[in-house]
Structure formats: structure tokens, C-alpha cells
Structure 1
Amino acid sequence: MNKPLGVLVGIVVIAGALNTAGAWYTGTKLEGVLQTSIQEANKELASQLQGTPTHGSIELVSLDRHLYSSTANYRVKMSDDSAGPGAQPVELLFVDHIEHGPLPWSRIKTFKWMPVMATSNYSLVKTPFTAKWFAAAKEQSPLQGQVTLAYNRAVEGHMELLPLEMALDANSSLSFSGMSMEGQSDAEGQNFKGKGYMDHFKLNAVFPNRPPLLVELNGLTAASDLNKSEFGFFLGQNFLKLSESQITFGDRQSVLKLNNFEYSGSTSAKGQLLSGRLDYKVGDVTLNNNPVGTAQLVMSASSLDIPAMQALFQIYQTKFQPKADGTLPARELTLAEQTQLQTQLETLLAAKPKMAVEKLSVKTPNGESEFNLAVALAQPAALDQPPVEVTKQLLTSLDAKLQLSKPMIADLAGVQAQLAGQTDPQALAQVGTMTSDMVSNLAVGTGLAKVEGTNILATLNYAAGQVDFNGQKMSLEDFITQMTMRFNAPMQ
């Protein structure tokens, strides 16, 4: 044997011996790691589902251990309290083929040479409950994926929902392109990044005594970059975009298209104060190929005391959350709960929270309307003062502005008339004009707004006990009196 070949063989033998030793070590540690991960997953699942009627759990059913690999079986159970008495929980079974580290073959063949504890290759198991799902995926496991566990217990992986084609009944069908998702998190699940993509989804539903419904979604992208806060929930950024959606509905089979819908949300905390921002955009809406318009909504909040909000939410969950049938529970707060409610509310207000509708805009072919609102709050000296005094101390400032376009109102009234079956252009124009004039007259008649050109305008500013309402300055008491008189008296 020549020297270079001998060196190469020696390296291969040593690498093989090290991999065998590592695989043996991984195999002996694997069950403990899996049980710990499942316990943490169940704890996190319970935390995220708290306050909802849904419950879930994950269970390691069995683990068959070998030198280089192991096979695990899991059971996932989900139940819903709102499903009513006697409803059976949903049960899914998964099989997991686990390659032991430090060098699993699935990573070697993709040139990933960093040593890891294990690589998990999981898939949904066919059961009577999932049989139709398997049939729709041409008898392949419709949900499968791979997860790699590093020695520091950091996790990265991807999941695939396979394409589906299935008949829901004799006339209804579903078509799904499949969806791919990937993500990564650290050992404790404190930091998570993920993204996913779906090409298309199509549901064609035909009902016995109702018009058929066709729903189509195309180009769905989602992404998250989150960090778990000390308060038990995640903060960070979320993003979702839907390139195109279309709904065909009604007796006339109207076609409503919505293009370029985007959602982005961000939350952060400084100490125990929460800040957040939500942004919704609709790029283009059409009805039966006729343009309807675009829209945007931006909301924000800051200086929200997190422990106080959590305590108030807990009271809501236990006392005021609607039942499964939608009715409210007939429960009264105890004296201790009333005291706690007041204490937490005062704590929340002491942080001087601010909330805003930074932008609410609707743009149609002939007009654009916009609304803005900013509110700042503070803690009153006492809540048992007269209402006006509480309001003065509670409301630090308020700034609101509305610009309502009469042509936009006419455009939307025309759309509503089209949905009702009206097709004559002259009649649609008449409906639009009548509606915009009615709104304009109502706003002016109640004294809530004024008309300038083609816009209905209203402004409201408040600070330090003084109100500026549409340019008219007055005290808060006078403003309340005026509003009371205007809404109690018949409109002239």
C-alpha cells in the first residue's frame, strides 16, 4: 500500500470509529433528550393555548434504539371544549426515523459536516382518521419533515405539507399545491426564526340549497423573527403576504379579487413596558373585473404595562370570556376581584399608555378618505370622582382627523348596489350620488362635520381640559353638553 493511500485509509478508519463512538453515545442519551424536549413542548403548548377552548399534548409512545439510528413513535392529541359534550379529541400519530450523530448520513450526503446530536426524519402515520388525507396525497405521508438537533440542543428543520387533490363530496373539491416551512430555534426555544411559502389553494364548494362558493388563494408567504420575553410570550416581527385571492359567490356568481394583501407586525419591550405596531395593506380590489380600490390600516401602541395587562386578561378569561355557545357567563366580581381589577387598571394607566390609528385610508377610482387618531392616557388621582373630572385626568390628549371623500362614498355605494344585482351604469351613478349626499347632509345636520369641496371634514383635539372641535374651542364640559344636546334633539 502506498503512503498516500495508507494515510487516506487511516483517516477513514479513524473517522468511522469516532462516528461509531458518537452514535453509541447519542443513542444512550437520546431518550432523555426527547423526553425533555417533549415536556418543554407541552409546557409551551399549554402556555400558548391558555385562555382558548383548545387543548393539546405530545406523547412519546415508543423508542426503538439501535447503534446508528432509532425509531420513535409520537402521539399528538388536540381537543376543543367548544365542540360540545361527547366530541372526541383529534389524534395524530407520527413515526420518526432518527439518525444518530455526530455525522448522520443525510447530512453527509448534502455536505453538512458540522457534528450534531441527531437528525430526525418524521412523517404522519396513516390511521382511519387520516386515511382521506393520505388518499388526497396519492398515498404518501401528507405531512413530513426533518429536524436536526445540535449538541447544544439548538434546533433547525423544515416541514412539508404535500400537494393534495381531493373530492369533498360528489360536487365539491379541494386543490392544494402544498406548503414548505423552515425554522430554527435555540436550545431553550427562546429565539425563533421561520418562514413558509404556499403556491396555491383552491376550494370549490357546492351546496344543496345555496349558491356555490369558489375560494382561490395564490402566493402565500409568511415569516417570523421572534424572541421569548421574560413574561412568557414572544416579541419580534411577523410578516404575511398573499399575492392574490379570489372569491366567487352569490346567485350571480360575483367575482371579488383582492391582490397584494400584506400584514406586518412588530412588538418590543423596554423593561416591563410593551410597544407594538400593526400594518395591513390591500394593494388592489376588483369586483367582476371593475376596480374597487385599495386600503391601508396602521395601528400602534406604546407604554403598555405588561404585568397589569396580563392580570386584566386573566380576570377577563375567568369572568367575562364568552362560553362555547357564545353566551356570556353570569358571574359577578367578588370584592377582592374588584379591588384587583381597579389596582391593575391604575397600574396600567400609571405607565401613561399611548394608542394610535396612525392611518386608515381607503382609495377608490374617484376619491380617497383617511382617518387618524392618537390618544394618550394617564392615571387619575381617584376613580370615584365625578365623570368629567375623571375624564380630564384620564385623557392627557386626543387628536383625531377625518377626511371623507364624497366620490369615494359614491364609488362604494355603487359596489354595494352591484352586489345587490344592479347593473345599469346610470342607476349605479344615481345610487352613489344619493348615498354621498345623504352622508354629507347627516354629518352637517348633526354638527359633527363640515363640507369643503368634495370632502366631508371633521377634527377633534383635546388637551388640558380644552377641546377644539372643527375649529371651535370650548371646555370639556361645554363639549359634552353640546354633544348631548345634538344627539338628543331632533335633527333640523
Structure 2
Amino acid sequence: MKKTALAIAIPLAVVGIAVAGAWYTGSRVEQEVTRGIEQANTLLQADAPDLGMTVALLGMERGLLSSSARYQVIITGDEGEAPTTLVFTDRLEHGPFPPSRLAAGKLAPVMAQSHFALEQNDSSAPLFAAAGGKTPISGELAIHYDQRQDGVFESAALQFAQDGESLRVSPAKVNFSVSGDRKDVRADGRMAEADLVFFDPQSGQPVQVQLRDLDIAGDKRENANGFALGPSSVSLRSLRVKAPGSPEVELRQTVGEEVLTQGEKGLDQTLSYRVGQLLVQGQEVGGLKLDTSLRNLDEGTLQSIKETYSQYGMSSVGDTGELTPEQEAALKGQFLRLLDSSPKLALDELSLQTANGVAKVSVAVDLRKPDQSARTPDEIARSVLASLTANLKVDKAVIGDVVALQAALGGEDAGGIDPVALKQQTDAMTDLFSGMALQSEWAVLDGNSLSSSLAYADDKVKFNGKDMTPQEFVAFAVGSAQGLGLGAGAAAGAEEEPQEESVE
């Protein structure tokens, strides 16, 4: 008898606890929704005031095991235009064990499980039409007891068309998670396809843009000064552009990466871009690489600049956004204070790798606080520049590959390519370019490559191994430009003027 009673009592107790938990959770859900909307409006006002976006709770009906809510998002229109109003419906399953999570095998308790979707109205009707009547925007969100949130945001396949221009995008999905203090944000998303057709404003001809396999990812943590530390990235399998009067260009296996970190002397940021293959009219050019970095950026000064821009953006300086002399002086002073931490700027690498060689350039600049005695722009510039290094190396084979590509593209337009003539032209242009670079002394021979190096520090220059003063280097650069004929046009024009006067 006792065993039977226990067999009945235990399930009833579990159900009773679950129902009590769901009732308690339901009372907290409304509080969390209200708090979340307040936080969203605060963030929008602080970080994106120009959007003119606000969020409001239209209503909420609370039940024992679930609740329903409606939210309104208002986007202020341009001057003379009515605002855009979007309404979202939300079905909130109460925790600790929402049925939809149990059905998906997610057994961890949560406060609530949200299922939201865009509601059709006058503002959203074009989106519903573009989605073929399906819900264009929807998603799910799990609200944890520690106020963490994670979920997924989805958009349906959309197709817009008007007056010969069109945009088609495949379904997209973004997975995200946000910590309870809203400082730790992770996200990753994917969209398989996008096709855009628009008219070139100059020629009036259609331009076609085709995108395949777009992926985004980010893992950011906000520090005490409000800067988002961590990595983010975007990648594309293919980006193809076809414009009137221009050869078709395709970028394959393109990746962009950004990382913001806390360094010893401030914030450090790196930006990297990779193009696995660059193709022009179906002909492969090679791979591209671009790496840049900023180091020793003082957080306090950056925060002051950010606050100043926000302040001026909300002031009534004028519709054109022009600054007063006082505001310009304030901003200039803040930017100059960035030099106190001796920032470093670098083009770490810009390179092109063709089938037979590599061309690569790098530049690094170290800055410092200007000397108090510096008065003229030239004195200030020399005082601010602590050091500069630049290096260039071009394999001769790269010159040949580029010349061959240009000739091949021209040959396709002419209807054919003569391999023997192409080889002769490639060799001749390679020798011509190499000879000019060596004769001008802008480059030196390094095996089968042309290389050039420049270093500046302590008011001294070292160019391709030769020590110079800055004045000597400037004189060399000006003389080389004249020797290459870059100043010939101006000289010829100066000589022609007296002749015209004598004729008159």
C-alpha cells in the first residue's frame, strides 16, 4: 500500500513543483521583458541615436504555463516621412522545463523560452510580399535564470523587384548568446546566396552582383570603458561583379578578420583580409593579402573622443553637421592626446601572389607626443614622427604574370592570342620595368626580385642601404620624378606660354 502511495505521490509532487515553478517563472518573465526593453532603449539612445529607434511593450497576457506579448519597434523616418512601425508577437513558454526545449532534447532548466515573429501591418507588408506570404522574420530565445540569453534569429527567402532592379536573398540564420550583464556577446550566422541587380548611374546599364556562402562570427566582451574586446570575422566563398564596360571580377575564398585586444600600453587592433583567388574575366590573377594594425591606443582618450562625437551629434550645431571653431579645437586636442601613449600604425603586409611569384610591401610608423617647441607644420610633423620603416619586394615573375594577364584579356577581345608574341611581350615589359626601377635607384636587385627599403629615425634616413639626411632624400625623390618625366607636362606648359604671347 505504501509503495502504491509513493508511486502516485512522487509524480504528483513533481508535477506540482513544475506547475509552481512555471507560475513563479511567469511572474518573473514579465519583469524580465520590461527590463529588457528598458535596456534596449538605453543602448539604442547611447550607441545609435541617429537611427531614431525605440522599442515598446504593447501588451502582455500571462497564463499559468505560457504568456503572450506584443512589442512595437518604431523607426523615425526622414524629415517629412512617417515613421516605420514594426510589431512582433511573442509566445513565451514558462520554465523551468518548456515543452519545446524538452522536445528538442534540451533538459537544462530555463526561465522562459520565447518564440517571436514579425506581425503583418502596413509597414511590414512589403516584407511579407517579398517572402511570398511567409513570415519574413522570426526567432527563438531562451531566457536563463542568471539572465543569460541565447537563441536564433531567422529570415525567410526574400525577393524584391522594381523598375528592372532586383534583390534576391536566400534564408539566413544567426545564432547568438548574450551574458546576463549584456557585456559578453557571441554570434555566428550564415546566408547561402544573394543576387543584386541595379542600374549604373552613369551608363544606365545593369550591374550584377552575386554573393555565395556568406558567414559571420563574433565573440566580444565589453571592458570597463565600453570597448568590445575579442575577434570577429566575415567570409565569402564567392563574390562576383559584372558591370557595363568593365571585365567581370570574381573574388573567391574571401576572409576578413578583426581582433581588438588589451595591450600593455592601451588597445591593440588588427585587421586582416584574404582573397584566395582573384579572377578577371575568368583569368586568375592570384591571391591577395592585407594585414594592418593599430597599437597603443589610449582607452581614456578614445572614450573622450567617442563621448565628444556623441555630444556634438546631439547638439544643434546645424543640419550639415559642421563644427564650431571651439568644437574643432576640442576634438583636435583630444586627437593629439592620443600621441601621449606613442601609438604604432602599420601596414603589416599588402601582397599579391601570382602563379609564379609574390609582390609584397610593408610600412610601419611609430608616433610620439610632439615637442613643445615645434611651431610650424613641418616641425610638428617631424616631431610627431618617431620612426618609419618601409619595405618592398617584387619578384620579376609577378611583372610577367600581370603583363601576360593584360595581354591575354586584350587578346580575347581581339579574338585570339599568339603564345610566341605573348612571351616576347612579357619578357620585354619585365625587362623594361626592371631596368627603369634599377636605373632610377628606387630598387636594387635581390636575386630574381626587385627590392626597396626605407628607414627613418632621429632625423636620419637610410634608403636601400645608403645613409641620407631627410633633405637629401627629398631631393632624390624630386629628381627621380623629373627623370621619369613626371614633371615634363608642367615644364612644357611653362615653355609654351611665352610662344603664345609672341604670336599675339
TM-score computed with the length of structure 1 as normaliser: 0.84
Structure 1 match to 2:42: 43
Aligned: 1:347 with 2:346: no
Measured in 2, the distance between the counterparts of 1:357 and 1:243 equals: 25
Please say if residues 382 and 390 of structure 1, whose CA atoms lie closer than 8 Å, have aligned partners that are also in contact: no
With over 3 angstroms needed to count, the CA separation of the structure-2 counterparts of 1:331 and 1:142, relative to structure 1, is closer
Q: Residues 185-196 of structure 1 correspond to what in structure 2 (within 5 A)?
A: 185-196=178-189
Of the structure 1 ranges 439-448 and 24-33, higher mean CA displacement relative to structure 2 is found in 439-448
Deviations 1:67-114 (A, max 9, x none): 22111111123346xxx5323333321111111122211122223232
The DSSP-based 3-state class of the residue aligned with 1:23 is helix
Structure 1 match to 2:20: 21
Structure 2 match to 1:31: 30
Structure 2 match to 1:362: 352
Structure index of larger Rg: 2
Which of the residues 176, 185, 193 maps onto 2:169?
A: 176
Aligned: 1:71 with 2:68: yes
With over 3 angstroms needed to count, the CA separation of the structure-2 counterparts of 1:486 and 1:407, relative to structure 1, is same
With over 3 angstroms needed to count, the CA separation of the structure-2 counterparts of 1:89 and 1:420, relative to structure 1, is farther
TM-score computed with the length of structure 2 as normaliser: 0.82
Q: Residues 187-336 of structure 1 correspond to what in structure 2 (within 5 A)?
A: 187-205=180-198, 210-250=204-244, 254-270=247-263, 273-313=266-306, 330-334=322-326
Partner amino acid for 2:59? S
Please say if residues 146 and 159 of structure 1, whose CA atoms lie closer than 8 Å, have aligned partners that are also in contact: yes
The DSSP-based 3-state class of the residue aligned with 1:36 is helix
The DSSP-based 3-state class of the residue aligned with 1:242 is strand
Structure 1: gaps (5+ residues): none
With over 3 angstroms needed to count, the CA separation of the structure-2 counterparts of 1:433 and 1:483, relative to structure 1, is same
How far apart are 1:196 and its partner, in Å? Answer: 1.1
Which of the residues 334, 349, 373 maps onto 2:363?
A: 373
The DSSP-based 3-state class of the residue aligned with 2:237 is strand
Aligned: 1:384 with 2:374: yes
Measured in 1, the distance between the counterparts of 2:410 and 2:44 equals: 43
Which of the residues 50, 60, 85 maps onto 2:57?
A: 60
Of the structure 1 ranges 286-295 and 8-17, higher mean CA displacement relative to structure 2 is found in 8-17
Please say if residues 391 and 452 of structure 2, whose CA atoms lie closer than 8 Å, have aligned partners that are also in contact: yes
With over 3 angstroms needed to count, the CA separation of the structure-2 counterparts of 1:67 and 1:271, relative to structure 1, is farther
Measured in 1, the distance between the counterparts of 2:470 and 2:24 equals: 75
Measured in 2, the distance between the counterparts of 1:381 and 1:314 equals: 27
Partner amino acid for 1:237? P
The DSSP-based 3-state class of the residue aligned with 1:425 is coil
RMSD: 3.7
Deviations 1:136-157 (A, max 9, x none): 3332212111111111111111
Structure 2 match to 1:137: 131
How far apart are 1:47 and its partner, in Å? Answer: 3.3
Measured in 1, the distance between the counterparts of 2:206 and 2:228 equals: 40
The DSSP-based 3-state class of the residue aligned with 1:168 is strand
With over 3 angstroms needed to count, the CA separation of the structure-2 counterparts of 1:320 and 1:26, relative to structure 1, is closer
The DSSP-based 3-state class of the residue aligned with 1:302 is strand
The DSSP-based 3-state class of the residue aligned with 1:127 is coil
Query: Percent same amino acid among aligned pairs?
Result: 27
Please say if residues 274 and 303 of structure 1, whose CA atoms lie closer than 8 Å, have aligned partners that are also in contact: yes
Please say if residues 319 and 333 of structure 1, whose CA atoms lie closer than 8 Å, have aligned partners that are also in contact: no
Measured in 2, the distance between the counterparts of 1:397 and 1:466 equals: 10
The DSSP-based 3-state class of the residue aligned with 1:239 is strand
Which of the residues 157, 165, 169 maps onto 1:163?
A: 157
Structure 2 match to 1:107: 101
How far apart are 1:283 and its partner, in Å? Answer: 0.3
How far apart are 1:45 and its partner, in Å? Answer: 2.6
With over 3 angstroms needed to count, the CA separation of the structure-2 counterparts of 1:382 and 1:75, relative to structure 1, is same
Of the structure 1 ranges 414-423 and 346-355, higher mean CA displacement relative to structure 2 is found in 414-423
Structure 2 match to 1:399: 389
Measured in 2, the distance between the counterparts of 1:31 and 1:320 equals: 35
Please say if residues 320 and 328 of structure 1, whose CA atoms lie closer than 8 Å, have aligned partners that are also in contact: no
Please say if residues 392 and 464 of structure 1, whose CA atoms lie closer than 8 Å, have aligned partners that are also in contact: no
Measured in 1, the distance between the counterparts of 2:17 and 2:180 equals: 25
Please say if residues 265 and 341 of structure 2, whose CA atoms lie closer than 8 Å, have aligned partners that are also in contact: no
Of the structure 1 ranges 455-464 and 96-105, higher mean CA displacement relative to structure 2 is found in 455-464
Measured in 1, the distance between the counterparts of 2:56 and 2:403 equals: 55
Of the structure 1 ranges 414-423 and 268-277, higher mean CA displacement relative to structure 2 is found in 414-423
Structure 1 match to 2:497: none
Please say if residues 69 and 99 of structure 1, whose CA atoms lie closer than 8 Å, have aligned partners that are also in contact: yes
Of the structure 1 ranges 66-75 and 481-490, higher mean CA displacement relative to structure 2 is found in 481-490
Structure 2: gaps (5+ residues): 489-504
Measured in 2, the distance between the counterparts of 1:318 and 1:428 equals: 61
Please say if residues 270 and 291 of structure 2, whose CA atoms lie closer than 8 Å, have aligned partners that are also in contact: yes
Which structure has more helix as a fraction of its residues? 2
Q: Residues 79-98 of structure 1 correspond to what in structure 2 (within 5 A)?
A: 79=76, 85-98=79-92
Partner amino acid for 1:462? Y
The DSSP-based 3-state class of the residue aligned with 2:52 is strand
With over 3 angstroms needed to count, the CA separation of the structure-2 counterparts of 1:79 and 1:409, relative to structure 1, is farther
Please say if residues 274 and 304 of structure 1, whose CA atoms lie closer than 8 Å, have aligned partners that are also in contact: yes
Which of the residues 102, 117, 122 maps onto 1:128?
A: 122
Partner amino acid for 1:230? A
How far apart are 1:246 and its partner, in Å? Answer: 2.2
How far apart are 1:337 and its partner, in Å? Answer: 5.5
